[in-house]
């Protein structure tokens, strides 16, 4: 995506101009924020939540989204990083209001600069032409939840975590009264298989699952931007229960190839407990970093040996016939010890 994306030439919110300084001031305020009405409110809202569990947020639902057939887009941010949450986002608006998405400049969030993403997110929430017809929601999936899901005995893969989040957000939008007619999803795995799965769950919708859907469908781009901006700010306001005093630029982007992230991993290892909660323990990058430095841990496992069985197996008494058709069975021990035979004729 080129840098000549057209974005409405309107005054920017002071928060965007001041960046992290404004966000930090708001995080220090005493009042709790329960509604995100601008970019300024995003960081404080996330900071007020427990980052060991998932957080779901829904914007106000425009009345037009309840009255008219809508399209809904689904996309995620932060699937690959070893640090921080993965965020799933949805955006929805009436099918006839596609122009509002174009006016906002919605495009693949990965091709937009952080500043442009912030501007678009703020406009979605503050500009009347946008918030009167566009709604959005995100699920911030804690790295703690990701790790425990992938490590538990009944393993839940990252694809399953992703699909469950997307399906849950669509269900929630239906429960909120959004009049969904069409659903567009950026795929996880083979698009055909994912589309069939969603179509069985939501047979009443027209569903399209495609690769790079965020660069093809503006409604998916809007969802992608909401997810990406939410993840970026979740990292900026991350609270370390371990007591670490770090800023987001101290641990980098979170991607395994980032040298700042690699340094963070190597310098913040607890020899017993491993890493801070920010880290996804289930990533091979984290496992390899722990391999040579952390203590080896052993856990008692229940005895897995099969119990010894003194007597013969029951199936021993139900053997088949010989080639001549004769039934040949081993007499039971009771009869053998007493020199008895079975009597079949009288």
Residues marked as binding for a divalent metal cation?
A: 75-76, 186
Q: At 60, list the tokens.
A: 């106000």
* Cα distances (Å, whole numbers) of residue 122 to 8, 14, 104, 127: 12, 11, 10, 8
Distance CA 192, CA 198 (A): 10
Q: At 99, list the tokens.
A: 């122009």
- Residue ranges at the known binding site: 75-76, 186
- Cα angle vertex 11, ends 8, 16, to 5°? 100
Distance of CA 289 to the CA centre of its chain: 24
Distance CA 242, CA 237 (A): 15
Name the phi and psi angles at 197, rounded to 5: -60, -45
Task: Name which of 59, 33, 76, 73 is nearest 137 in CA terms.
Answer: 59
Say how many CA atoms lie within 13 Å of 40 toward its Cβ: 13
* Cα distances (Å, whole numbers) of residue 227 to 53, 65, 172, 271: 17, 20, 16, 34
DSSP string, 234-251: HHHT---TT-----GGGT
């Amino acid at each position: 995506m080129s840098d000549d994306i057209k974005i409405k030439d309107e005054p920017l919110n002071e928060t965007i101009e001041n960046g992290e300084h404004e966000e930090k001031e708001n995080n220090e305020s005493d009042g709790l924020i329960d509604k995100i009405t601008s970019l300024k409110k995003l960081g404080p809202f996330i900071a007020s939540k427990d980052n060991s569990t998932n957080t779901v947020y829904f914007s106000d639902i425009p009345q037009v989204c309840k009255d008219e057939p809508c399209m809904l887009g689904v996309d995620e941010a932060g699937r690959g990083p070893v640090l921080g949450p993965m965020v799933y986002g949805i955006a929805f608006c009436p099918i006839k209001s596609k122009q509002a998405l174009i006016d906002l400049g919605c495009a693949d969030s990965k091709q937009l600069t952080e500043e442009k993403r912030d501007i678009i997110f703020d406009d979605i929430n503050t500009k009347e032409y946008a918030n009167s017809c566009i709604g959005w929601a995100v699920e911030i999936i804690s790295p703690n939840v990701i790790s425990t899901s992938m490590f538990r005995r009944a393993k839940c893969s990252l694809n399953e975590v992703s699909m469950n989040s997307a399906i849950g957000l669509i269900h929630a939008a239906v429960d909120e009264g959004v009049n969904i007619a069409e659903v567009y999803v950026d795929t996880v795995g083979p698009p055909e298989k994912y589309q069939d799965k969603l179509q069985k769950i939501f047979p009443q919708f027209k569903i399209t699952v495609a690769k790079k859907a965020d660069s093809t469908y503006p409604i998916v781009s809007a969802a992608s931007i909401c997810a990406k901006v939410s993840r970026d700010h979740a990292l900026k306001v991350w609270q370390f229960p371990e007591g670490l005093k770090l800023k987001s630029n101290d641990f980098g982007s979170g991607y395994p190839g980032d040298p700042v992230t690699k340094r963070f991993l190597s310098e913040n290892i607890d020899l017993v407990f491993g890493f801070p909660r920010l880290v996804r323990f289930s990533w091979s990058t984290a496992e390899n970093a722990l391999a040579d430095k952390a203590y080896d841990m052993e856990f008692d496992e229940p005895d897995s040996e099969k119990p010894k069985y003194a007597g013969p197996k029951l199936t021993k008494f139900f053997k088949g016939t010989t080639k001549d058709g004769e039934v040949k069975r081993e007499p039971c021990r009771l009869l053998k010890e007493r020199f008895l035979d079975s009597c079949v004729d009288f």
